[in-house]
């Protein structure tokens, strides 16, 4: 019978930082938000169970969705259900809302948080390509102060992040860019309760009111095709300055199939992932071009 690990429930961020003091890579004190990833590990059947935990649920500093003119700011402990229901997210971040709607099912969306998805750092984490494509900045904090890590620098290796063991993710800043478009596509075995075989997010800018104008600031990010969520920079270069024509879609799909190096695993094969990622990108460009 597994023993339930001791858990502290700090009432303030300062108390949470104090509770995390002494957390190291070898002896981590595990923050718990929604618990939808942590509780799966609690029996010890999947990896090392947490020895000590810090509950983040009372920290008002980690909650809420606001917009400040240049960015949408989402507290780390914001749930998927809150993002789906948020007028701010629906207006400015429809691709993130779409990603949130594909995660687990209602129970997971009610508990699971954006911060948990970020720190769990699964290569298949569904919000992570969206954060990469939208140039999100991840604000982290600890007893030594706060710092901001661009999403592009946050996932550093397989399930490893730029976060120190005694730091928390506090919030995510997602720039609100005029004329930016973004699309999300998840491919899994089912429409709910499915871990992604491939997940893509594509963002670009175009002149307002001119959908056939050349794309700029193109960002293409993928999950489940590498040991961490990645940007496909060679394919971004193919799309930068291009218009969404059939020729562009063909060139971008060919580029992406050559650029990614997925693996075979229990959920899918490398070949399937490569072909599906290229087809999904082709479809996104076709939809954007309206042909």
Ligand X SMILES: Cc1cc2nc3c(=O)[nH]c(=O)nc-3n(C[C@H](O)[C@H](O)[C@H](O)COP(=O)(O)OP(=O)(O)OC[C@H]3O[C@@H](n4cnc5c(N)ncnc54)[C@H](O)[C@@H]3O)c2cc1C
Give 188 or 244: the residue with its C-beta nearer to ligand X: 188
In the complex, minimum distance from the CB of residue 8 to ligand X, in angstroms, rounded to a whole number:
13
Residues 181-220 that bind ligand X (CB under 6 A): 193
Query: Going along the chain, which residue ranges are E strands?
Result: 7-8, 30-32, 53-55, 65-67, 71-75, 137-142, 145-150, 155-157, 160-161, 168-175, 180-187, 198-205, 216-223, 230-231
Write out the binding residues for ligand X, residues 19-78 only, by CB under 6 A: 30-38, 40, 56, 62, 76
Contacts of 249 (CB under 8 A, 6+ apart): 281, 282, 285, 286, 289
Interaction pattern, residues 107-126, with ligand X; x per rule: CB under 6 A: -x--xxx-xxx-xx----xx
Q: Which of 207, 117, 202 is nearest to 161 (CA)?
A: 117
For ligand X, which residue of 42, 73, 96, 103 counts as binding (CB under 6 A)? 103
Q: Which two tokens stand for residue 28?
A: 């981590």
Smallest distance, ligand X to C-beta of residue 161, A: 9
Beta carbon of residue 11, minimum distance to ligand X (angstroms, whole number): 16
Residue 146, Cα to own-chain centre: how many angstroms?
A: 21
For the bound state, the minimum distance from the C-beta of residue 94 to ligand X, rounded and expressed in Å, comes to 18
Distinct helix (H) and strand (E) counts, the chain: 10, 14
The contact mask relative to ligand X for 146-185 (x = CB under 6 A, - = no) is: ----------------------xx----------------
Residue count of the chain: 291
Q: How far is the CB of 187 from ligand X (least distance, A)?
A: 12
- The 261-290 contact track toward ligand X, x by CB under 6 A, reads ------------------------------
Residue nearest to ligand X (CB): 116
d(CA 136, CA 49): 31
Per the listing, tokens 């990614």 go with: 260
Task: Specify the residue, 58 or 111, whose C-beta has the smaller distance to ligand X.
Answer: 111
Nearer to ligand X, 277 or 285 (CB): 277
* Sign of the four-CA dihedral 159, 161, 164, 167: negative
Chain residues that interact with ligand X, rule: CB under 6 A: 30-38, 40, 56, 62, 76, 103-104, 108, 111-113, 115-117, 119-120, 125-126, 168-169, 193
């Amino acid at each position: 019978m597994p023993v339930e690990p001791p858990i502290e429930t700090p009432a303030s961020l300062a108390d949470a930082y104090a509770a995390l003091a002494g957390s190291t890579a070898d002896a981590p004190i595990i923050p718990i938000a929604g618990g939808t990833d942590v509780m799966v590990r609690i029996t010890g059947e999947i990896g090392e169970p947490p020895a000590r935990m810090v509950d983040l649920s009372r920290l008002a500093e980690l909650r809420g969705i606001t917009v400040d003119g240049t960015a949408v700011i989402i507290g780390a402990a914001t749930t998927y259900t809150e993002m789906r229901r948020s007028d701010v997210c629906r207006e400015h971040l429809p691709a993130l809302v779409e990603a949130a709607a594909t995660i687990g099912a209602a129970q997971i969306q009610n508990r699971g948080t954006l911060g948990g998805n970020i720190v769990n750092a699964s290569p298949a984490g569904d919000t992570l390509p969206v954060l990469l494509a939208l140039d999100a900045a991840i604000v982290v904090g600890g007893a030594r102060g706060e710092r901001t890590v661009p999403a592009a620098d946050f996932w550093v290796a397989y399930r490893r992040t730029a976060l120190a063991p005694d730091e928390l993710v506090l919030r995510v800043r997602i720039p609100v860019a005029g004329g930016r478009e973004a699309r999300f596509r998840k491919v899994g075995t089912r429409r709910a309760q499915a871990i992604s075989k491939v997940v893509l997010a594509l963002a670009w800018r175009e002149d307002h009111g001119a959908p056939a104008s050349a794309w700029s600031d193109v960002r293409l990010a993928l999950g489940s095709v590498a040991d961490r969520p990645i940007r496909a920079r060679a394919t971004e270069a193919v799309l930068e300055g291009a218009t969404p024509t059939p020729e562009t879609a063909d060139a971008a799909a060919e580029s992406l199939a050559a650029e990614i190096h997925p693996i075979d695993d229990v959920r899918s094969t490398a070949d399937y992932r490569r072909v599906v990622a290229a087809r999904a990108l082709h479809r996104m460009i076709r939809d954007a071009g309206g042909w």
